[in-house]
Amino acid sequence: MRAMVLQRVREPLCLQEVLLPDVGDLDLLVRVKTCGVCRTDLHIVEGELPCPKLPLILGHQVVGVVEKTGALVTKFSLGQRVGIPWLGGCCMQCEFCLSGRENLCERAVLTGYLRNGGYAEYCAVGESFALPLPTTYDDVQVAPLLCSGAIGYRALKKVEAGKNIGFYGFGSSAHILLQIAKFLGKEIFVFTRETSMGSKHLAHKLGAAWVGNVEEKPPVLLDAALIFAPVGALYPQALRVVKKGGSVISVGIHMSDIPSFPYALLWGERILSSVANLTMQDGREMLEIADKTPLHLTTTVFPLEEANQALAYIKEGKVRGSIVLQL
CA distance 220 to 269: 19
What is the pLDDT tens value at each position of the chain, 327 positions in all?
999 999 999 999 999 999 999 999 999 999 999 999 999 999 999 999 999 999 999 999 999 999 999 999 999 999 999 999 999 999 999 999 999 999 999 999 999 999 999 999 999 999 999 999 999 999 999 999 999 899 999 999 999 899 999 999 998 899 999 999 999 999 999 999 876 788 889 999 999 999 999 999 999 999 999 999 999 999 999 999 999 999 999 998 899 999 999 999 999 999 999 999 899 999 999 999 999 988 989 899 999 999 999 999 999 988 788 999 999
* 323, β-bridge pairs: 37, 300
Instruction: Yes or no: say if 181 and 159 are a contact pair by the CB < 8 Å rule.
Output: no
Tell me which DSSP letter residue 7 carries: -
pLDDT at 289: 93
CA distance 280 to 91: 14
pLDDT at 195: 66
The pairing of strands 27-37 and 81-84 is: unpaired
CATH of the domain at 251: 3.40.50.720
pLDDT at 171: 86
Report field, pTM of the whole predicted structure over 0.75: yes
Among candidate residues 112, 86, 108, the one with its CA nearest the CA of residue 97: 108
pLDDT at 65: 98
Please, what is the end-to-end C-alpha distance for the chain in angstroms? Answer: 12
> Based on the structure, what is the number of domains in the chain?
2
Q: Is residue 305 part of a domain?
A: yes
The count of other CB atoms within 10 Å of the CB of residue 188 is 24
Range of the domain at 182: 159-274
The count of other CB atoms within 10 Å of the CB of residue 78 is 12
Among candidate residues 204, 185, 234, the one with its CA nearest the CA of residue 296: 204
Measure Cα distances from 195 to 16, 31, 189, 192, 275 in Å.
38, 40, 17, 8, 27
| Ramachandran assignment for 105, one of left (phi > 0), alpha (psi -120 to 50 degrees), beta (any other) | beta
CATH of the domain at 75: 3.90.180.10
Q: Is residue 144 part of a domain?
A: yes
Q: Is residue 91 part of a domain?
A: yes
Instruction: State residue 118 phi and psi, 5-degree precision.
Output: -105, 10
Helix axes 197-205, 172-183, angle to 10 degrees: 20
Residue 310 one-letter amino acid: A
Answer yes or no: do 294 and 264 share one domain. no
pLDDT at 260: 96
Answer yes or no: do 185 and 144 share one domain. no
Answer yes or no: do 282 and 143 share one domain. yes
Answer yes or no: do 119 and 14 share one domain. yes
Tell me which DSSP letter residue 92 carries: S
